[in-house]
């Protein structure tokens, strides 16, 4: 595919090339409760036929990467992003702990272009993380889209910043959304992500971060705004949890191979 074409591929167009040929990732927890009744199944089927869902239908981009709790970099997890492209500079994503119909909504991420980020107050910037290293390292992937389209998408994402909150901490084996929302961050350099966590994701999805990293070597990665990634210079913003849920623990064991991956001791 000619480079001149790639230079004209917009963010929304690249994301629109998604396909469904992606390995399943299961949620690591089962929510408590009774199985769905026949009546509930009927109501669901009727709603699916009769109700329009424009906000849900707009979630047409799928990204898979990793997050960690701000201030607790050892507590890491895989994050499946289903995103809506609001315009060329703003994206909004729902974060799930898998890509099946039983995946739990872990939280949300808002993504903005570097130009918009530059306009933010310095105190706000500390809560956002840069995406350059996630792109260059090969850790951030867009499963199921053709290589040239993914490359064009990553060229754009390298120049963005994300603000992420998790509300259901299934990486901590929470079967319900207990505790308080937590600000999340992304990795910025080598040696931060748990290699076993990344390998588990790679093996399940059939991707190789080393190969992807080499394929993206031509992508220009900007120097992050010095006020982003606040945790790196001691500006850790986090909500303290009054419920005592211990949501920053480092689990003793990894999840099962087909489940959403996480760091472990």
Residue 112 · residue 86 · CB < 8 Å: no
Give domain status of residue 39, yes or no.
no
Give domain status of residue 16, yes or no.
no
Q: Rounded CA gap, 23 and 51, in Å?
A: 29
Q: Does residue 150 sit in helix, strand or coil? A: helix
Give domain status of residue 48, yes or no.
no
Tokens of 232: 């790196």
Report the pLDDT averaged over residues 66-91: 97
Give domain status of residue 28, yes or no.
no
Give domain status of residue 29, yes or no.
no
- Grade residue 78 by pLDDT with cuts at 50, 70 and 90: very high
Is 191 or 249 the better-scoring residue by pLDDT? 191
Give domain status of residue 21, yes or no.
no
Provide the number of structural domains found in the chain. Answer: 1
Domain that holds residue 157: 61-265
* CA neighbor of 107 nearest in space, from 177, 39, 15, 203: 177
Burial of 29 (0-12, 13-18, 19+ CB in 10 A): buried
Q: So what's the pLDDT on residue 4?
A: 32
Give domain status of residue 26, yes or no.
no
What's the pTM?
A: 0.92
pLDDT per residue over 201-220, tens digit each? 999 999 999 999 999 999 99
Start-to-end CA span in the chain (Å): 44
Alpha helix (H) residue ranges in 98-176:
114-118, 122-125, 132-136, 147-157
Give domain status of residue 236, yes or no.
yes
Contacts of 206 (CB under 8 A, 6+ apart): 23
Asked if the model's pLDDT at residue 100 lies above 60, the reply is yes
pLDDT per residue over 145-175, tens digit each? 999 999 999 999 999 999 999 999 999 999 9
Is 7 or 31 the better-scoring residue by pLDDT? 31
* CA neighbor of 182 nearest in space, from 68, 261, 64, 66: 68
Q: Rounded CA gap, 111 and 159, in Å?
A: 10
């Amino acid at each position: 595919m000619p480079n001149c074409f790639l230079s004209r591929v917009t963010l929304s167009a690249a994301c629109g090339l998604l396909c469904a040929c992606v390995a399943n990732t299961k949620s690591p927890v089962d929510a408590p409760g009774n199985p769905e009744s026949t009546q509930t199944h009927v109501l669901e089927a009727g709603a699916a036929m009769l109700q329009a869902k424009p906000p849900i239908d707009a979630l047409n981009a799928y990204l898979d990467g990793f997050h960690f709790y701000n201030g607790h970099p050892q507590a890491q997890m895989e994050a499946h992003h289903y995103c809506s492209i609001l315009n060329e500079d703003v994206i909004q994503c729902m974060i799930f702990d898998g890509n099946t119909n039983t995946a739990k909504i872990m939280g949300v991420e808002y993504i903005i272009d570097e130009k918009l980020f530059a306009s933010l107050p310095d105190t706000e910037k500390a809560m956002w993380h840069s995406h350059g290293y996630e792109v260059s390292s090969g850790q951030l992937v867009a499963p199921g889209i053709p290589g040239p389209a993914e490359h064009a998408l990553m060229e754009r994402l390298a120049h963005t910043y994300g603000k992420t909150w998790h509300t259901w901490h299934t990486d901590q084996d929470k079967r319900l959304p207990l505790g308080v929302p937590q600000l999340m961050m992304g990795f910025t350099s080598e040696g931060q992500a748990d290699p076993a966590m990344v390998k588990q994701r790679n093996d399940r999805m059939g991707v190789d971060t080393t190969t992807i990293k080499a394929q993206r070597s031509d992508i220009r990665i900007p120097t992050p705004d010095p006020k982003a990634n606040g945790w790196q210079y001691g500006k850790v913003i986090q909500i303290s949890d009054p419920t005592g849920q211990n949501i920053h623990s480092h689990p003793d064991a990894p999840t099962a191979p087909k489940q959403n991956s996480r760091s472990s001791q």
